[in-house]
Structure 1
Amino acid sequence: MYNSLDWQEKTMSIKDKEKWDRRYHCKEYVYGKEPSDFLRQKINILAKGDALVLAMGEGRNAVYLAQFGYTTTGIDISEFAIRKCIKLAKEKDVYVNGMITDLDEDEMGKRKYDLITCFYFFDRSLLPKIISMLKPQGMFILEQFSIENPKQSTYGPRNPDYLIRPNELLETFKLLKILYYEDTIVELNEAWWQGTAAIVRLIAQNCLTENDMKKTELALKWQAKHGRP
């Protein structure tokens, strides 16, 4: 017996929605059905409980977390991605709460999640919101292309706004406990993404007091608006 995905549509950028609907409106799973290698390698050290998967796409990481017992919510802007995640969740006999939403427009709740994942999606303006959603001792895991990727690879974003600068995450999350950080060149083997890529990987834990959390959120909002301090 399996549970299907619950989903609800919220306000979103029509242009972005159309872009990602085109990407996911196909039978095959664009990024495959298997979870990210990084998530799979680190699953045993991550905080357990309620998980939020940002820009979950077709659900490979969301479904994997559900298989490990997480109460998993996955969000994406594309209805087609959500529907494919429904199918994958059924195949694996797990439940994921899926929401069609745009993080630019939505509030997902403060101090709500034990784990937040962000794989191959990056928006500096959302960092304060992401941090505020972590419970005490909650963890944030990220994997994204670095600013060096266009020199190394033919795939991934070219716009520097969506690429991570050297040491940027270490500075951004300096008040959190950095459990893992890597800025490296790897060989990716994830469906459409094949070959050399320059990526950044991070695991950070919220060990802040309530007062420190408020200060961190304000600092991150300033950074997102003005760039590096």
Structure 2
Amino acid sequence: MAPDWNERFSDSEYAYGTEANTFLADNATMLVDPVLSIAEGEGRNAVYLATQGFRVHAVDGSEAGLEKAARLAADQNVTITSEVADLNDYQTRPDSWGSIVSIYAHLPRPLRIKLYPMLVQALKPGGISIFEAYSESQRGRGTGGPNDLELLMTCRKIEEEWKGLETILLHEIEREVHEGKFHTGMASVVQYIARKPEQN
């Protein structure tokens, strides 16, 4: 069963911590301004990118999560913009983002095959996509992520669903993840970085 995100984010504690995802932070210098972060939650990644000088727009279905994101941004003396939106209905214009970030957004396949092509179109030529999610091998480990295989990722799913980008990095690895109480311990993840081709 999917979490009730407003309920999860209503606690004063940050469910996934306040530090940025390390894969994103390690590769942030590749990003191009402005940045769209989907399923941003409580703002840890968006706020980190804002501290690095990026203009960041955070989208999430949880109003409670984005309220905490705004507080975290204020604590860090940066500004982000945000939008409460169901990703099933989310729309954004073509060629409007320098980068798109998706960190642990575990979505059902019908939504992914509708959302991801739109996000590819939304990237500007030369734009960057950075993605990390738990892999199918994560199922049953108890260190984070859903148990539904449909929501977990593989490299093949990435190749099938993010068409139109030039792959820079795509692999499944095991790594330690320590991001709040819900993501903690050795985990199997899929990591993906890609660039939208420049127009001729």
RMSD of the TM alignment (CA)?
A: 1.9
* Consecutive unaligned residues in structure 2, runs of 5 or more: none
Alignment of 1:71-90 (within 5 A): 71-90=55-74
Determine if contact 1:53/1:118 at 8 Å carries over to the other structure.
yes
The structure 2 residue matched to 1:131, chosen from 120, 125, 147, is 120
Counterpart position of 2:138: 149
How high is the sequence identity, in percent, across the aligned residues?
30
Matched to 1:71, the amino acid is R
Q: Counterpart of 1:140?
A: 129
Structure 2 counterpart of 1:202: 192
Q: SS state of the match for residue 79, structure 2?
A: coil
CA shift for structure 1 position 174: 5.5
Q: TM-score, normalised by structure 1?
A: 0.79
Question: Where do 1:38-187 residues align within 5 Å?
Answer: 38-47=23-32, 49-123=33-107, 124-125=112-113, 126-173=115-162, 175-187=164-176
Cα contact 1:178–1:205 (8 A) shared by 2: yes
Higher alpha-carbon Rg = 1
Q: Report the equivalent of 1:6.
A: none
Residue 26 (str. 1) matches residue 4 (str. 2): no
Maintained 8 Å contact 2:120/2:164: no
TM-score (norm 2): 0.90
Q: CA deviation at 1:181?
A: 1.7
Q: Gaps (5+ residues) in structure 1?
A: 1-15, 211-229
- 38-47 vs 73-82, which moves further: 38-47
Aligned residues: 194
Partners of 1:26 and 1:201 in 2: CA distance: 29
**In structure 1, C-alpha distance between the alignment counterparts of 2:155 and 2:99, rounded to whole Å:** 24
Counterpart of 1:218 in structure 2 is: none
